[in-house]
Structure 1
């Protein structure tokens, strides 16, 4: 291929980008970086890590996501909910391993797990966390994060990753607030909550950084005693790191890494899909796996922590006008500039102000509406949502997510264990057939029309004959059963066996089994399974035709 054939289209794309998108992407990157700087420090400290780790996790991870991901709106870096999960997982690290070393292993494992899922095309893993479980977990984690930051906000000594740990720590160390720390923290929190009421625009977007800078200037000017600060940071220069190669450490971190990977992927994909729908775009789940895998591996090799997409920063990136994934590249560049210039300034940052920034960010997402909606729609799912929330607050994230996944699977099994088979009749004057319990219909005394409302699988196939027999017991004069199969999308081998058992049971009773409206792919599988060898009934293109058949 001539070089000009490659160079000319590339030059056109670059020119079009510079004219149409560069300005918007740069503006969005600047706005997001303003929020990312204080959040990266705060979330690293929330995870029990040195503050510079959050800055490192905000540099190359967004760049790697920009190269591999699919959404122009996601900002990948430290996230509050993951920070709480990291804190609880790091508590399990073996003796002699520092939190920073364990965090590198954790990030590497998250990246490797997500990369393996991408290679194996396991993007359907998102289905493991149902919406009630995700809502319940996020609400519980949000409240737990806010509670964990309350002692820092007030300058007290208590600490803990859940409410019992906080209570125990408060009883042991006391919960006496420090006056100057409380002043800085409460004023910062009130200021951050107040600016949320401002109309959307540049002042509101710059407010978090403005509050941080005012707190730094006040701490520098007053230099009060008893005010905890970030303290002197090491030289903020990005360098290559290699996670510690210790088999026991890697095995200890693996369960936590698997949960962090699952939650990070599910929450990031949900944010990406939500923002894409606003503008009629698509995201690709497998590429999201690849982008997050690359981001976490980059964090592991550059002194960072596990990363995922931040909901607040991603929404901000979208609202600020991001057009392409180049916004992530510009964010990485701006964070690199901050990395080498802001070390002396950030050393004066008061910890209560960082705690206020965390509380303001997470409390904005607390809503009880999903619980009310779930209670009205499905009380079992509402109960599962509530239990997951309480487990996050009172036990651990691992227990909450484990029970949530098992609970969602149990509810699915309960719904699927018995197929819904509706007795249907003809709406007078039409060829339409509907459920007798919902419509006024006409029934044939000799032909029973039944509609199977779900696929026949190993979960429910065993009950098919019993469900049909229950209908027959109410209509003993039936000589023929016609199953409308239009809702059936799949029949596995267990379902095929159940259909055969029903056919034989009806034959012993002197009744015939017929089928109507069987979908092509389902019929192909039935024929491949030897259906023609034992099926003696008739197959009809329409249910009405089957009901009118005189044979």
Structure 2
């Protein structure tokens, strides 16, 4: 099928909404696309080797679980997801949430712990599929930007401190901020100097590569895109150098911990034993991982889709991520989601369609079969360094002063989430942030902005009397309500109207200007009916103007316009002309 220009772009975007199947169904995929996807897959596969091992370490699982999590889940998402760029696999936040959920229940790395991780992935996949079937993607909206920003920043700090055990050799007790700091303080006597020196080199190189390598490469004539891509591949370069260095100098005999022998090939597909008690213990964290992972993935997918003038189907994303997590559980790994760093590399390397994820999974499969033996001497300190440098960029403390200037409610939600995660734990911290965010929203809506409005001279526009020099009519009171009428604010609106009416003994008409009302619930309707009755007793007629169509339709269902003492006007100016 040969199509060109805008028509082809439109058809490609439509096909992408249906996932990889859509591309084949519409016969859009071709050899040129395959070459670009294959190039991107090769580069992402190289990046995934150190990343997947590092995130398995963070999750408390055998390191090969990170490789498993990068194969079948990526392929499963490619078949059902709608983003051509999103790279699904293990990420820092879901790895930390996995460890937080399972470490109180079993010894990290044990067979029981692995079985629980498999069950957690399956539960997360089931939650995502259920949300997709019920079209419940909106639930992720309860994780507001301030809450997500604080959650990610505080979690990144916990991850950062937790990895000190890998770069210093000091055993740390995982948990809250105070637990980590106290265990680090009490364990300082066990500091392993060789590990610290080697880790310092790893950290310095990775930090330099992230912030300065691209600029240096550009000075030597490399293009900006090629330089950025090369700098992001620095962990793979360091993996090769570190592994060779440890093997050549026999640093493992000097106390440097190495990865050791990794099993070759995929594990047998398996299902863990399931009991009602274990399900009840894991279900809350599975729901949390589903919501956080979905919110993070959709945000990344939408960002890249906007750059390419494409769209992301949220409900299809729930399906894609759900199937990916089921695949993770069946391949003896742990919950997965879309990763930002890999998606950036995937985009910069030229990925066009989800086929890149299929090829990435195949690439990791080749690694698992043919390259695991070469990773024997890979120092674990390097994996900790990879995690620390990756999550350091996630900490964004500048959000708090910005939010404090813009919205105190959002700032309090950010602060509650961050402090909760740091001092109470990840689950309680996120729940606290959501509750504070909802409480702030309710507090704001319980005090709606109600303005007395008048006409700007010589126009048909009506504005707040406290902001503009306007014309008023002595027998008419016009009030603009700038919030939806609901249970939280209905009584406040009623009292404001009655207060304004009480100050004007000559009043004959009250016009409620509803341009800012998007919804009226049962409590709001009750207040309107009561105002209509009370004003009638005082000889004042109640009118409505600029009521939005959907709101007026609902009022008509209960015949409110028929009971109204006044009229419903299309515009405020029309109302003023008729009544004055």
- TM-score by length of structure 2 reads 0.90
Q: Contact between 1:72 and 1:324, CA under 8 Å: does it hold in 2?
A: yes
What CA distance in whole angstroms lies between the structure 1 residues aligned with 2:470 and 2:385? 64
What CA distance in whole angstroms lies between the structure 2 residues aligned with 1:12 and 1:235? 36
Match of 1:71 among 76, 83, 104: 83
Helix, strand or coil for the counterpart of 1:21?
A: helix
CA-CA distance at 1:365 after TM superposition? 2.6
- The equivalent of 2:168 in structure 1 is 154
Match of 1:132 among 146, 164, 173: 146
- The equivalent of 1:3 in structure 2 is none
Matches within 5 A, 1:329-368: 329-368=358-397
CA-CA distance at 1:476 after TM superposition? 3.3
Q: CA offsets per residue over residues 391-422 of structure 1, 9 Å max, x none?
A: 22222001111101111111111111233221
What CA distance in whole angstroms lies between the structure 2 residues aligned with 1:260 and 1:88? 11
- The equivalent of 2:476 in structure 1 is 447
Moved more, 386-395 or 94-103: 94-103
What CA distance in whole angstroms lies between the structure 2 residues aligned with 1:318 and 1:379? 37
CA-CA distance at 1:490 after TM superposition? 1.9
- The equivalent of 2:46 in structure 1 is 34
CA 1:389–1:218: 2 relative to 1, 3 Å: same
CA 1:248–1:310: 2 relative to 1, 3 Å: same
CA-CA distance at 1:172 after TM superposition? 4.6
Q: Contact between 2:409 and 2:437, CA under 8 Å: does it hold in 1?
A: no
Matches within 5 A, 1:210-249: 210-224=237-251, 225-249=254-278
Q: CA offsets per residue over residues 66-105 of structure 1, 9 Å max, x none?
A: 1111111111111101111111100232689721111011
Q: Contact between 1:93 and 1:249, CA under 8 Å: does it hold in 2?
A: no
Q: Is 1:437 aligned to 2:466, yes or no? A: yes
- The equivalent of 1:4 in structure 2 is none
- The equivalent of 2:17 in structure 1 is none
What CA distance in whole angstroms lies between the structure 2 residues aligned with 1:54 and 1:154? 23
CA 1:518–1:267: 2 relative to 1, 3 Å: same
Q: CA offsets per residue over residues 305-343 of structure 1, 9 Å max, x none?
A: 000111111122122221111111111110111111122
CA-CA distance at 1:204 after TM superposition? 1.5
Q: Contact between 2:80 and 2:316, CA under 8 Å: does it hold in 1?
A: yes
Matches within 5 A, 1:17-96: 17-93=29-105
Q: Contact between 1:104 and 1:299, CA under 8 Å: does it hold in 2?
A: yes
- TM-score by length of structure 1 reads 0.94
Helix, strand or coil for the counterpart of 1:483?
A: strand
Q: Contact between 1:31 and 1:205, CA under 8 Å: does it hold in 2?
A: no
What CA distance in whole angstroms lies between the structure 1 residues aligned with 2:319 and 2:230? 35
Q: Is 1:276 aligned to 2:291, yes or no? A: no
What CA distance in whole angstroms lies between the structure 2 residues aligned with 1:42 and 1:143? 16
- The equivalent of 2:121 in structure 1 is 107
CA 1:380–1:489: 2 relative to 1, 3 Å: closer
- The equivalent of 2:503 in structure 1 is 474
Unaligned runs of 5+ in 1: 1-8
Helix, strand or coil for the counterpart of 1:272?
A: helix
Helix, strand or coil for the counterpart of 1:309?
A: strand
- The equivalent of 2:234 in structure 1 is 207
Helix, strand or coil for the counterpart of 1:450?
A: strand
Helix, strand or coil for the counterpart of 1:422?
A: strand
Q: Contact between 2:68 and 2:328, CA under 8 Å: does it hold in 1?
A: yes
What CA distance in whole angstroms lies between the structure 2 residues aligned with 1:60 and 1:97? 21
How much is the aligned-residue C-alpha RMSD, in angstroms? 1.9
- The equivalent of 2:7 in structure 1 is none
Match of 1:500 among 529, 532, 536: 529
Q: Contact between 1:243 and 1:301, CA under 8 Å: does it hold in 2?
A: no
CA-CA distance at 1:11 after TM superposition? 8.3
Unaligned runs of 5+ in 2: 1-21, 215-224
CA-CA distance at 1:148 after TM superposition? 0.7
- The equivalent of 1:5 in structure 2 is none
